[in-house]
Amino acid sequence: MAVKERDKFEEVKPDMTPMIDVTFLLLIFFIVTLKFKTLEGRLDSNLPKDMGTSPLDTPPVEKVDIVIRVGNPGNKVPDILTKTKSKPLGRLNHFRGRILKVSVGTSVFLVRTDVRNEDKLLEDLSKLRNALKPFDKAETPVTLDAREGIIYEDIIGLLDVVIDMEFEKVSFSGSQEQG
Amino acid sequence: MSKRGKQTSEIEVDMTPMIDLTFLLIIFFIIVNDLTQQELEDLKLPVAQKAGKDEPPPGRPILNVMDDGSIIWKKKILYEPGMQPQGTDPIRKGRPDYYWKLAETMRIEFIPWMETDYDANLKKDLPDEPILIRADRNTPFKFIQRIMEVCSREGIYIWKVQLAASEPEPESN
């Protein structure tokens, strides 16, 4: 009698083990797939407000055209030597040995864009800086004219210099012929 | 005898706090995952010394451009090489329009949510908010020019464009 009474009121304990197993699996899944947001920078630019290519009915202003061509396209290599915070090594490719021909007015420079050879890059960019120095920073519009074969990185590198030199009016142009 | 029986009985660990904690962690990771993963594709940005710190305004559209030129917005492919054209390009007269999907998405998904500002010169309302172009460092620049062209199409007129770049790392040389 006494035994039966005690059995009746005994707590029912569900077996938690499978649930904990699953929960831990889920937890591990979310930890592994988590990518923390990496802080990225940005460069602002404005496009012309008009639609398409606009005819020039405004008085011509003295402007600087920076024409960029590819001198040597370089080779694409796996990115094993540059470190990034968020990406594992060796997964994405980048260009090595790329040389750009940059012309400002009549002067032409070669820019070796290899980031790992920073001395050469800075030396090349300082020539570009010297060529841009005489212009009025607030008034002169700068046009970056990228020709065929130019990649985003090249433009950002030069845009970086132009913004660093505090030119206020920066725009892009391109020929319509390229496919 | 009965006392001894109690002594050898199983020791049960109370699992409740651990499960509570685990669930909290799971919920945390689900939320964090959702916020960050949606819009940013796995690509490598170029480095710029002067890149301003990006404090993203809420709702700013992000266009990811991969190194083959494909454009991805919120995991949707808006352009990829080999896509079928539709109609003719309003800016490159007479050429087939490969960027119709991008233009359509901009008109339907971007513009209605943007604040506008009246431009006295052009006598119309122009969107006053930026979009971010987040391109891989190896992307040919012509693909970015195409996006800029689409921005200036009829009914879009987006003129504030931000280009994503990463800041230089102090330890690299």
Provide φ and ψ at B98, rounded to 5°. -85, -10
ipTM: 0.71
Global pTM value:
0.71
pLDDT band at A8 (very low <50, low <70, confident <90, very high): low
Side-chain-facing half-sphere of B109: CA atoms under 13 Å: 16
- What is the chain A residue with the closest CA to B65? A152
Q: Under 8 Å CB-to-CB from B32, ≥6 apart: which residues?
A: A34, A36
Q: Does B165 touch chain A (CB under 8 A)?
A: yes
Q: What is the CA radius of gyration of chain A?
A: 29
pLDDT for A175 equals 57
- What is the chain A residue with the closest CA to B122? A50
pLDDT tens readout for residues A136-171? 777 778 888 888 888 888 888 888 888 888 887 787
pLDDT for B71 equals 92
For the record, the structure tokens of A121 come out as 């890059």
- Distance between CA atoms of A155 and B67, rounded to whole angstroms? 14
Determine the residue type at B68. D
Q: How far is A110 from chain B (nearest CA, A)?
A: 19
Q: Where are the beta strands (DSSP E) in A25-166?
A: 41-46, 64-72, 75-78, 93-96, 99-104, 107-112, 141-146
Give the residue among A177, A173, A176 at the shortest CA–CA distance from A48: A173
Minimum-distance CB partner of A34 among B29, B153, B165: B29
Q: Which residues of B touch A85 (CB under 8 A)?
A: 169
Minimum-distance CB partner of B119 among A23, A49, A157: A49
Q: Does B29 touch chain A (CB under 8 A)?
A: yes
Provide φ and ψ at A80, rounded to 5°. -105, -15
- Distance between CA atoms of B168 and B173, rounded to whole angstroms? 10
Determine the residue type at A125. L
